[in-house]
Structure 1
Amino acid sequence: MRKTSAPLPTFIPLLIGITAISFSSIFVKWSSAPASVQGMYRLLFTAILMLPFLKPHWKELRALSIKNWLLLGTSGFFLALHFLLWMGSLKLTSVSSSTIILALEPVFIVIGAFFFYKEKTSAAAISGMVVAIAGAVLIGLGDIGVSRDNLLGDLLSVLGTLAVSVHMLIGQKMVARVPSFVYSFVVFLSAAVVFAVYNAAAGVSFTAYPGRDWGIFLLLAVVPTVFGHLLFNWLLQYVPASTISMSILGEPVGASLLAFLILGEAITLFQLAGGLLAIAGLIVFLNAGKFKSRPKSDIPVEPAHPAP
């Protein structure tokens, strides 16, 4: 079952994680490498960085059942699919348009959590979610793609958001069975393997990239992955996936601001107003979003297959 309380106030790791993942789109834009290569090395370098801390968990890793290995591998597959689609979308559309679509994640998570985990939320929390999503949509109103490439980028971001929602729902289930560190290590490594297979099959070069790109691969591993996704995986022990996904609504705000400061992408009045709305809705949700699960357990009787 999920643990009752984190060793520090939840908003602290949430704030760190949101800030860290906000840099992800900037790093992706900076690199000239294909999205599949960026994703592969991002996850591979993260797994390598985790290796020195794996020894205390070696016994737990070896004790994983075949069923758990399959679930972890599935989670890794959907994480890789998310990165492939979302990072690919950034090659076609703006940071604001791509990250704003990630605001759909709480909707997919809440729906999935209701069907698979029987989680419900209060009216106040739903109101906060609606306000935050409305604000997130407002951010991108002045930047909605109108060209064919931009529309394709928007579609890739939608599909990437669906993929990460599946990844998060599996993660919520798995961290109740295995330590979050073991979960993260196996998922990141399996996602890197998925990318490697994809790149090999597509004939994408593994090494033909300048030193600048290798530095960006490392930044992607350290900043948004270790201080973002790894931190969020750890938080799944204490809060539902729906709460974490709702908090990630802060990413469009942070990413749009960073894109303005670093990439020179303009912020419109719609985006500014939307950012304020998203933050207000997020505050309401985090204060009122107490999800209820079935009394006996957070984990349902095994569904056909739960949907990062």
Structure 2
Amino acid sequence: MAALAVAVVAVSTSAILIRLSAAPSGPMAFWRVSLTWLLLAPLAYRSRGEFGKLRGRDLLSALLAGVALAAHFAAWFESVDRTTVAASVTLVTTQPAFVAVGAAFLLDEELSRGTVIGILVALAGSALMSLDGLLNPGTAPDPLVGNALALAGAVFAGAYVLAGRSVRQRVALVPYVTVVYVVCAGGLLAYTLALGDPLFDYPPREWALFLGMAVGPGLFGHTVINWALAHVESSVVSVSLVGEPVGSTLLALLVLSEIPGLITVAGGAVVLGGIYLTSRARA
């Protein structure tokens, strides 16, 4: 539980670090994932015997998870620059709802009444948050597109979770995340090169931010969350991650002086309520 609390605080810094960086979203995401993988390389070497368990369907699932994670980062990093931190982080956290829908169609898991209610509540909150961009156009550069990208990021995050769900029951953490991070970095590299963004021409401040993204949200955030799943019930992990939008919004207020509008706050509360209902119903 202590590790999970640290992980939630760590992932809450992600949007703030993205906003502080002046680099394009593609290189930012690429270096975050690449540096996270490099930090895990010594552990991957010690666990090299476990890589042999990634065969056939498990290897394919890990590859698909890496592609989905790359799409998630590409969409969400761009979202943070277009809408408010509160809206972007809250909307991207709706991924449990998309996981529930995907599990029903792909894994034949039953959608309970409580799950459906939770999903509908989360979607209603998302629609309410999108109204802020229409009624208060000065709150962010392009809030409607930013909110849409955040929701797309949530869909891809849901695909990432679904692709890796069964693999983690048979394969150790480090080999699995190593394969996922390498594939993800490859996808983000192709995305960056396709856009023509530079990979290396950045000042020391940007490299410090890239490293901060890798150490904080990458190593102490998502990697620790994956570790915690072996020791804490998945329902507890899902509900705990609802704390990320709250932490990010508070940090945005303190670091960026970004005050969310009342509609964003109200919509965010509805979204978080929907995620909580979905997680409880699935538990």
TM-score, normalized by length of structure 1?
0.77
**Partners of 1:249 and 1:278 within 8 A in 2:** no
1:202 aligns with 2:195: yes
The answer to whether the Cα contact below 8 Å between 1:92 and 1:152 also exists between their aligned partners in 2 is yes
Which residue pairs with 1:149 in the alignment?
142
CA shift at 1:25, angstroms? Answer: 0.3
Distance (whole Å) between structure 2 residues aligned to residue 203 and residue 127 of structure 1: 44
Contact 2:35 2:211 in 1 (8 A): yes
The correspondence for 1:189, drawn from 172, 182, 186, is 182
1:89-108 aligned at under 5 Å gives the runs 89-108=79-98
In the alignment, the residues of structure 2 paired with residue 282 and residue 158 of structure 1 have an alpha-carbon distance, to the nearest angstrom, of 14
Partner of 2:250: 257
Cross-structure match for 1:164:
157
Instruction: Classify the secondary structure of the residue corresponding to 2:197.
Output: coil
Worse-superposed segment, 262-271 or 249-258: 262-271
Q: In the aligned structure 1, how far is the partner of 2:53 from the partner of 2:275?
A: 39
The 1:128–1:152 alpha-carbon spacing in structure 2 relative to 1, beyond 3 Å, is closer
Higher deviation after alignment, 54-63 or 33-42: 54-63
- Would the aligned equivalents of 1:103 and 1:136 in 2 still touch at CA under 8 Å? no
Distance in 1 (CA, whole Å) between partners of 2:107 and 2:3 is 24
1:1-308 aligned at under 5 Å gives the runs 9=1, 12-120=2-110, 142=132, 146=137, 149-237=142-230, 244-269=237-262, 288-289=280-281, 291=283
Secondary structure of the 1:89 match is: helix
Unaligned runs of 5+ in 2: none
Does the CA-based 8 Å contact 2:97-2:118 persist in structure 1?
Answer: no
CA shift in 2, pair 1:266/1:187, >3 Å: same
* 1:194-222 superposed Cα distances (whole Å, 9 cap, x missing partner): 11222233322111111111000000001
Is the contact made by 1:139 and 1:271 (CA closer than 8 Å) also made in structure 2? yes
Structure 1 residue 68: Cα displacement: 2.7
The 1:55–1:263 alpha-carbon spacing in structure 2 relative to 1, beyond 3 Å, is: same
Unaligned runs of 5+ in 1: 1-8, 292-308
Tell me the amino acid that sits aligned with residue 30 of structure 1. Answer: L
Alpha-carbon spacing, 1:164–1:176, altered in 2? closer, same or farther (3 Å): same
Cα distance change of structure 1 residues 61 and 94 upon mapping to structure 2, 3 Å threshold: same
- TM-superposed CA distance for 1:184, in Å, is 1.0
1:117-155 per-position Cα deviation (integer Å, ceiling 9, x unaligned) = 344577667767777777787777656674782222122
RMSD of the TM alignment (CA)?
Answer: 3.2
Q: Name the count of aligned residue pairs.
A: 280
Q: Counterpart of 1:81 in structure 2: which amino acid?
A: A
* Alignment CA distance shift 1:177-1:52 (3 Å): same
Deviations 1:208-257 (A, max 9, x none): 11111100000000111112211222244467867644543222211111
Aligned equivalents of 2:227, 2:111: Cα separation in 1: 22
**Aligned residues of 1:100 and 1:137 also touching (Cα < 8 A):** no
Q: Is the 8 A contact 2:104 2:111 kept in 1?
A: no
